[in-house]
Structure 1
């Protein structure tokens, strides 16, 4: 007797519980704190905005271990509300105490949508970015906090985000596909027919989070979306779209697109700080989001690659992002493909 396994749509309560549970282990916090680009950029942004923190009230949305809250207190904040929904908040309390900042930093256990603060805030700080920027949908919570708790004219760090796309050639994929043609020479068994099967397994609809080598990027990246955190709405995030155009550097085979983001921190009269996850910049724990095509497409010098990128929540889990790319390579027929990050939270339904 066979069983049909179906993906079951998770209700919002379970989606949230699984999301917050993922932050109860030390590994993810170790990875984030150890990400020097991430942590030092936040610290420098807070320090350079010292005048905006002196004697002010700050809200840290999704505070985690509380490191950003402590940076804010060290910059002179009068009060910092470190709002954290998962049990890592217990460790944040210990870290705040260890740093003798209990009089300035208050760890508030709960989601920003449910907690009650005693006052409005002058500054919102949050490290909300997920893979491909919007995975996990934490930006929605930052916007909620902005609309409910931020004073008019208040500061948001970071306050702008941009999304970029570029065609790439992943040589590892080509090597894996070619492997099946080498088996006969090694073992006397022709397994070349496995190449098509392997292509379907490797070049699937999953968003692959990995580091892209800069030499594998085939054009200058194109910006396809920009978000102003002072004005963007949750409704706009549910259907984020943008066009792009790239021109290839030379002869190669495009087998994927690379998507990455930057976020910008205003620094008063000084030059803004930019945290970039570009393959042309130092590595971060976000790496890049790689979207594999169904089959490679040959390009030459100046071959145009154009199209539109759409980002929207998954139907099964609103915290998971989907990316649809409608694209044309040179004179080839327009193609479309929709990608998503594999969802470990599915439960089999027999």
Structure 2
């Protein structure tokens, strides 16, 4: 997970179920304001064919002709693939895009062929078929169910279109905002004047911690962060593939989803056959998750609960499986793993399964002059102005960015293994050793690169081989992924630690030189979500060593 925080103007305004706002039978005493976009139903709206430019007066005519002329039964495909509203939208846009390419018989054997969100975007502007999806599944007598009115379909489609119009830049703005918010809160904590008593001092610190926590959970109330995570196919596909490929592990089981967000992982588990899923989140996103759960027919399986896992009471004494997407930048930023471990120790039954089961942290030597120029030299000339004052802490702040494989100038080393079934919170503050070998000559060492790998093993007793690589396990049919530069980019990207230069002349490194050192993670405060990352290192056992600390916040 990541931590964007939206602007204060939009705080605490969760969107609720569509049924709360879309009753078109009610009157509007305030006049016509707010209803400009609602157009009267046009029963004679023409519909363009799927495989031709032919025009049809209604959906039934299109379905009949398409079946007879092109041997394609749209209603049957929808039913066989168990497509919901969004799935049907994707199917139609997929078919139209394939036909546009010249494919006369698009392959619709699996929903995975058109599961990409790109197919939510209409191929034809104002496609009337998309506004009449409920007509595809008519009762035998040709009458529609009262639960599937056209106005609901239009409202859903408008919502899809609104989501497609959101700018990706919003995610970056949110992330910057939360960093600034955490900085202010933690700075206030450090600068607090002495309090009259220990009780008052503890109350003040507790209040600040609660405010930081409040900002953290509010940040997950907004669509942009969840959109970013769901569109991270490396992340989401891994969870989906593990759950669907191992339905035997989930069938008839009770599952706890810690930090459920939109409810996607809970619904994966329910569809895989879980008997009961308890979805927990302390953000108001839980309200949308509830709507998602019921909209997809899982209301009798999934129970959504709002609150911190440490403070709520589950409706069951134990669970068989805990699933959670708890990972932050540099793996441990946000400290959400603390809550997952608490849930494991409190609720997971003996022999229960953690999903994912293992994580590893890696470090590698980093050299990239262009990257340094874009983040350091940049400040010396900004539109012709000298802004060198911004360089004051530039080498003390961890940078989250996607990096090139060529910037990794040596082998990587695992410095921490996290077996999720046994790891403790105390082990998340650490100082570990590492050893790296330079792969080729470089003019200087610019910094360190940190990333993590995630593994989904099927047994609580399964051991992860030391130094295991995700692509090696995938060859064995297991599910795993990397957030490093050698794999597809994820929303976590990598953590870059730029080294403060020493002296005026850079020190070149040669192929084969060995770097030995220690790396440590330390929470800034006991209950903080930010981290300090410390690295100590020396080259070729040189008597002089270097030491630097970076903040990830």
> TM over 0.5, yes or no?
yes
Residue 550 of structure 2 is aligned to residue 339 of structure 1: yes
**Which has a greater percent of helix?**
2
Contact 1:126 1:158 in 2 (8 A): yes
Structure 2 residue corresponding to 1:266, chosen from 457, 461, 466: 457
DSSP 3-state at the match of 1:254: coil
> Computing the radius of gyration over CA atoms, which structure comes out larger, 1 or 2?
2
Q: Which residue of 2 aligns with 1:80?
A: 277
CA RMSD between the two structures? 2.6
Structural mapping, 1:107-118, within 5 Å:
107-118=304-315
Check if 1:287 corresponds to 2:493.
yes
Query: Structure 2: how far apart are the matches of 1:246 and 1:300?
Result: 13
Conserved 8 A contact 1:84-1:111: yes
Deviations 1:265-314 (A, max 9, x none): 01469743212101111100000000010015421111112211100111
User: Residue 98 of structure 2 aligns with which residue?
Assistant: none
- 1:99 to 2:289 alignment: no
- Distance in 1, matches of 2:393 and 2:402, equals 16
Quote the residue 2:325 is aligned against. Answer: 127
SS of corresponding position for 1:231: coil
Structure 1 range deviating more: 168-177 or 298-307:
168-177
The DSSP-based 3-state class of the residue aligned with 2:448 is strand
Moved over 2 A (4+): 170-183, 197-203, 267-272, 329-333
Q: 2:482 aligns with which of 229, 251, 276?
A: 276
Contact 2:256–2:277 (8 Å) recurs in 1? yes
Counterpart contact for 1:200–1:294, Cα < 8 Å? no
Change (3 A) 1:153 1:316: closer
- Say whether 1:319 aligns with 2:499: no
Q: Give the structure 1 partner of residue 445 of structure 2.
A: 254
Instruction: Tell me which residue corresponds to 2:170.
Output: none
Do the aligned residues in 2 keep the contact of 1:54 with 1:75 (CA within 8 Å)? yes
**Inter-CA distance 179–276: structure 2 relative to 1 (3 Å threshold):** closer
Normalised by the length of structure 1, the TM-score is 0.87
In 2, Cα distance between equivalents of 1:178 and 1:33: 35
2:353 touches 2:458 (CA, 8 Å); kept in 1? no
2:516 maps to 1:306: yes
Structure 1 residues 297 and 121: CA distance shift in structure 2, 3 A:
farther
Measure the CA separation in 2 of the matches of 1:136 and 1:101. 30
Q: CA deviation at 1:341?
A: 1.9
Distance 1:102 1:213, change over 3 A: same
What's the offset of the Cα at 1:15? 2.3
Residues 297 and 224 (structure 1 numbering): CA distance in 2 closer, same or farther, change over 3 Å?
farther
Using a 3 Å threshold, how does the CA distance of structure 1 residues 316 and 173 change in structure 2: closer, same or farther? Answer: farther
Mapped contact 1:309–1:323 kept (Cα < 8 A): yes
Q: Does the CA contact (< 8 Å) of 1:73 and 1:79 recur in 2?
A: yes
Q: Deviations over 1:224-251 (max 9, x none)?
A: 11011111111111x2221111111112
Matches within 5 A, 1:1-350: 7-9=187-189, 11-119=208-316, 120-176=318-374, 197=388, 200-201=391-392, 203-237=394-428, 239-252=429-442, 253-267=444-458, 271-295=477-501, 297-315=507-525, 318-330=528-540, 331=542, 333-342=544-553
Question: Is the alpha carbon distance of 1:43 and 1:181 closer, same or farther for their aligned partners in structure 2, counting shifts above 3 Å?
Answer: closer
Count the aligned residue pairs: 329
1:141 & 1:181 partners in 2: Cα distance?
A: 43
Query: Distance between the aligned counterparts of 1:133 and 1:321, measured in 2?
Result: 11
Deviation at 1:75, TM superposition (A): 0.5
CA distance in 2, matches of 1:58, 1:321: 30
- In structure 2, what is the Cα distance between the partners aligned to 1:175 and 1:102? 53
C-alpha displacement at 1:332, in angstroms? 7.4
Name the residue aligned to 2:91: none
Deviation at 1:255, TM superposition (A): 0.6
- Give, in whole Å, the separation in 2 of the partners of 1:214 and 1:254: 15
With over 3 angstroms needed to count, the CA separation of the structure-2 counterparts of 1:62 and 1:201, relative to structure 1, is: same
Instruction: Pick the structure with more strand per residue.
Output: 1
Change (3 A) 1:122 1:62: same
**Alpha carbons 2:457, 2:478 under 8 Å: kept:** yes
5+ residue gaps, structure 2? 1-183, 190-204, 463-475
